[in-house]
Amino acid sequence: MTEKNRDNGFEAQIDNAAYEAWFIKQVQASLDDPRTSIPDKEARRLMAEKREVFKRLPDR
């Protein structure tokens, strides 16, 4: 194993740990959010509308 491969593995471990910490924080924030949840069907409808808007945007 080269030094470069060892460094990439270490960086990947750090990235994975950072992502996991971020994800746990996001989930907890969602659970702690006092706002009323919306039904899955409504959330899917809203996201479909947003996707349609983005599809119509000019390519960059």
pLDDT of the residue at 1 = 46
pLDDT in tens, the chain (60 residues): 445 555 567 777 779 999 999 999 999 999 999 999 999 999 999 999 999 999 999 986
Q: Which domain holds residue 49?
A: 3-56
Name residue, tokens 């009323």: 36
- Spatial distance between the Cα atoms of 37 and 24, rounded to a whole number of angstroms: 19
- Spatial distance between the Cα atoms of 3 and 11, rounded to a whole number of angstroms: 12
The domain tally of the chain equals 1
